Structure 1
């Protein structure tokens, strides 16, 4: 299938103050976050992006707009509720240092598959709807643009971690072992055989190697893992 570039939104005022923003309105990128989003856009400018999809929350839409502005072709930004932030319910808007004293905090850290936020959603439900949305969108992008297509999904830390965990075949209870910083780039290539995680939490460097050779055809062998690791992509310095 196609290749999805997962971009977390840039740093926000809530991130800087140690507040769990959740789905609260009006949470915007701070000055550092805006610069981070612009740099992410510069890194992605050399890729042939077929689509840019974003969580509907403002911080993600700002980041997606920066990515689109840096791209040489006018790539339209669309929103997708399936990759919006986890519904933290009564937890949103509260300081993290305060939440760390709650009994639920320990469960979120050690067994997130059993964690459900008061008046919000469970982490299992969060992962299920995010993974379903990304896989559905990826299939749609491939159907329209071919198996070599590359697209961007701008989302949130826990959402991206849960999608990466699914691609890695990790149980949700292990997803806290992954780290996804503001404006970082991760990449997954979905194929008929398995998903391939190409990058996680990447902050700098050329990304042109992420795009596979464009073709309307795909052989079964092309989806196989190379025994011994293979030769890797051909990138001209």
Structure 2
């Protein structure tokens, strides 16, 4: 698996739903820096609720599956493809996983697939979906909607460079890592305001694979000024997020900490 765009809106590395998830199982998330509440390291994606520990949590959720994922197309422009039938089922499934969480608000990127994923999550929690202007996927420019291996290789190489000291490098005719930070991090700062001074509960932000991984790096490394750098700040480089997968960051006094990173499902033998 490549380091870069395997969970961009091009790959069908999706979670199954219901019994399929339990049958397939999920790997231990400890390698991603998760500091456990009961779901972490259990071998499957469970609906455990985080402890009532007075901490605030940012729940980043990747959208469900689309036809572009199945075709391995680099689908990065707005509004993008809608969810397919499996993606709609995944959205319902992740809504079930988050029922009972102390969520105060549900946000979504402007992409159709993200809004469709956020809708059942918000409904399950009795909330409305609020749109974020900067939470959409990394724009691949000239590579947008490409399906060939050469284009994917260019995307992956550029994406990897953002994690190894060159976030200013841009996709051909598209965005750089710094461009994505410039639009996404202000949104995250707004929706998590007060987390550093005692705010509790959680917010859900439905976004996209590459954008979530890049934003998580910024928060975990303190690029946004939110805290000190974590040892696993670059975990997103080599850990794609499956369709409807969650990345949960907990706000500690000295910055953000990875609490849960849904792994790719194990392939059946």
With the shorter chain as reference, the TM-score category is: 0.7 to 0.9
Q: Name the structure 2 match of 1:135.
A: 189
Give the conservation status (yes or no) of the 8 Å contact 1:179–1:201.
no
**1:101 Cα deviation after fit:** 5.2
Q: Name the structure 1 match of 2:257.
A: 196
Q: Name the structure 2 match of 1:179.
A: 240
**1:126 Cα deviation after fit:** 1.0
**1:82 Cα deviation after fit:** 1.6
1:199-214 aligned at under 5 Å gives the runs 199-201=260-262
Distance 2:241 2:212 in 1: 7
Gaps of 5+ in 2: 1-54, 222-229
1:142-157 aligned at under 5 Å gives the runs 147-157=199-209
Q: CA offsets per residue over residues 166-215 of structure 1, 9 Å max, x none? A: 233279877422221110011112244211211112589xxxxxxxxxxx
Give the conservation status (yes or no) of the 8 Å contact 2:78–2:110.
no
**1:66 and 2:120 are equivalent in the alignment:** yes
Distance 2:196 2:205 in 1: 14
Distance 1:113 1:174 in 2: 16
Count matched residues: 199
Larger radius of gyration: 1
Gaps of 5+ in 1: 205-237
Distance 1:48 1:105 in 2: 36
Q: Name the structure 2 match of 1:31.
A: 85
Question: Which structure dedicates a bigger proportion of its chain to helix?
Answer: 1
Equivalent of residue 76 in structure 1, options 111, 128, 131? 128
Give the conservation status (yes or no) of the 8 Å contact 2:79–2:110.
no
Distance 1:44 1:75 in 2: 13
Q: Name the structure 2 match of 1:212.
A: none
Q: Name the structure 1 match of 2:145.
A: 93
Distance 1:154 1:173 in 2: 21
Q: Name the structure 2 match of 1:52.
A: 106
TM-score normalised to the size of structure 1? 0.74
**1:108 and 2:177 are equivalent in the alignment:** no
